[in-house]
């Protein structure tokens, strides 16, 4: 198995639980993180080795290292010939590796369809050549893939089963020592160092502006543990450290407790939607990455909640629009709605609840059933 970042590690850990319940003697090795390790996964390389951001200078700087890891992993797997390879997301790394393994007769499964419905539709042929089956986390994906000759099945989104349909906000606030009446903003500037480098200062400067308008607002930052030192440093640099509560992990507890989140586009936005929280989605990347993405973008939305609802149910502020001032205004609009127009928030929560129910399936069992069929072919 290979998971290339924190969100993939989480999904792979949930999948491993189902696999082990079916095959208790399972041995799982490859590239992964702490969630996978909890299920007995042996990481030959840690997942953060693959975490890069767009077509950035970091990617160019680390290209040879990442290519070297993939080549070493490929050679090791071809020598050991596992019964199955599962690539979890990280398509730029995994699809090429899967193609090499499949060509040598090793069965391959890809968990989480690449977003060919959002951008880079040309990937269809690469997916078809790389994998024996795709485990899809969104209900509209299998038909699209099957139309292009790719075996696929909808297994639900694992997070929809992990996150309660009705999160206990009061309990989360007690755990974080927050009052019920507090205005609480969660700041999630990403799970990769490059994302944080682009977004954290913008988020912290937005927090300063929000605090000017609403001095009693509480700000909590659930940092990826390995990147907490970077976030701490940027908080000090921005001058906002004295009124930020920066935690190591605990993003689900923070999302359950908050009133609104300012959040980087990615899997975390879906987690926020499953917690039924209003949000402002932001993203910023290098100029070249942005130009390439814009040319390949197929939908008007970037944030997963908006894509799945097929509407701008929450604001998106991307690239040059993601200024501290605009981010602060977006968050303040949700806080104003909390106090003056709660029906607006209730309507959003109703949409997110319906989305949650649509995505909620027994993912571990459905995925394991599909994997068993691949192994039996």
**C-alpha span between 375 and 107 (Å, rounded):** 7
**Residue 374 near residue 132 (C-beta atoms within 8 A):** yes
Q: What are phi and psi of 11, to 5 degrees?
A: -65, -40
**In the block, residue with structure tokens 């459905």:** 366
**pLDDT of residue 286 exceeding 80:** no
Which fold would CATH assign to domain 2-156+361-376? Rossmann fold (3.40.50)
Give residue-wise pLDDT tens across range 109-127: 999 998 876 556 678 899 9
End-to-end CA distance of the chain: 20
**C-alpha span between 78 and 99 (Å, rounded):** 12
Mean pLDDT, the chain, rounded, equals 91
**Residue 186 near residue 254 (C-beta atoms within 8 A):** yes
Beta pairing partners, 185: 219, 260
pLDDT the model gives residue 52: 59
Name which residue leads in pLDDT, 19 or 377.
Answer: 19
Per-domain residue ranges of the chain: 2-156+361-376, 169-358
Q: Which CATH superfamily is domain 169-358 in?
A: Glycogen Phosphorylase B; (3.40.50.2000)
The two domains 2-156+361-376 and 169-358 share their CATH topology (first three levels equal): yes
Instruction: Rounding to the nearest 10 degrees, give the CA dihedral for residues 248, 252, 256, 262.
Output: 70
**C-alpha span between 220 and 187 (Å, rounded):** 6
**Residue 112 near residue 89 (C-beta atoms within 8 A):** yes
Give residue-wise pLDDT tens across range 5-49: 887 898 899 899 889 999 999 999 999 999 999 999 999 998 887
Within 10 A of 375 (CB to CB), how many other CB atoms are there? Answer: 13
Report residue 56's pLDDT band, with 50, 70 and 90 as the boundaries: very low
pLDDT the model gives residue 55: 45
**Residue 227 near residue 342 (C-beta atoms within 8 A):** no
pLDDT the model gives residue 299: 62
Give residue-wise pLDDT tens across range 180-203: 999 999 999 988 888 898 899 999
Report residue 288's pLDDT band, with 50, 70 and 90 as the boundaries: low
Which residues contact residue 226 at a Cβ distance below 8 angstroms, ignoring those fewer than 6 apart? Answer: 48
Ordered alpha helix ranges (H), the chain:
6-22, 34-37, 57-80, 91-103, 123-130, 141-147, 158-162, 169-175, 193-213, 228-238, 251-257, 267-274, 287-296, 304-309, 324-340, 342-359, 363-376
Give residue-wise pLDDT tens across range 292-305: 666 655 467 788 99
């Amino acid at each position: 198995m290979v998971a290339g970042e924190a969100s993939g590690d989480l999904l792979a850990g949930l999948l491993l639980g189902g696999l082990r319940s079916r095959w208790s003697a399972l041995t799982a090795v490859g590239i992964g993180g702490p969630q996978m390790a909890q299920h007995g996964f042996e990481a030959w390389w840690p997942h953060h080795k693959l975490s890069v951001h767009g077509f950035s200078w970091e990617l160019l700087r680390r290209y040879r290292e990442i290519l070297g890891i993939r080549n070493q992993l490929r050679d090791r797997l071809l020598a050991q010939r596992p019964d199955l390879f599962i690539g979890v997301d990280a398509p730029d790394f995994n699809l090429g590796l899967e193609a090499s393994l499949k060509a040598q007769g090793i069965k391959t499964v890809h968990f989480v369809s690449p977003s060919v419905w959002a951008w880079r539709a040309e990937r269809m042929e690469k997916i078809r050549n790389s994998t024996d089956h795709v485990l899809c986390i969104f209900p509209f994906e299998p038909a699209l893939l099957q139309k292009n000759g790719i075996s696929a099945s909808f297994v639900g989104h694992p997070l929809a089963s992990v996150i309660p349909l009705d999160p206990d906000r009061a309990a989360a606030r007690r755990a974080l020592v927050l009052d019920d009446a507090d205005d609480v903003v969660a700041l999630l500037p990403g799970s990769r160092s490059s994302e944080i480098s682009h977004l954290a200062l913008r988020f912290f400067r937005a927090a300063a502006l929000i605090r000017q308008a609403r001095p009693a607002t509480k700000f909590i930052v659930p940092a990826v543990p390995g990147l907490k030192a970077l976030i701490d440093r940027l908080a000090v640099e921005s001058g906002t450290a004295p009124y930020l509560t920066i935690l190591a992990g605990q993003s689900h507890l923070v999302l359950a407790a908050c009133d609104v989140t300012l959040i980087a586009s990615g899997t975390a936005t879906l987690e926020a939607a499953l917690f039924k929280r209003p949000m402002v989605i932001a993203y910023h990347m290098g100029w070249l990455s942005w130009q390439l993405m814009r040319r390949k973008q197929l939908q008007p939305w970037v944030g997963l909640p908006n894509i799945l609802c097929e509407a701008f149910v929450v604001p998106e502020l991307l690239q040059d629009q993601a200024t501290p001032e605009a981010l602060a205004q977006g968050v303040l609009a949700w806080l104003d709605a909390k106090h003056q127009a709660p029906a607006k928030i209730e309507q959003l929560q109703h949409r997110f609840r319906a989305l949650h129910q649509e995505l909620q399936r027994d993912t571990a069992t459905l995925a394991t059933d599909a994997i068993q069929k691949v192994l039996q072919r």
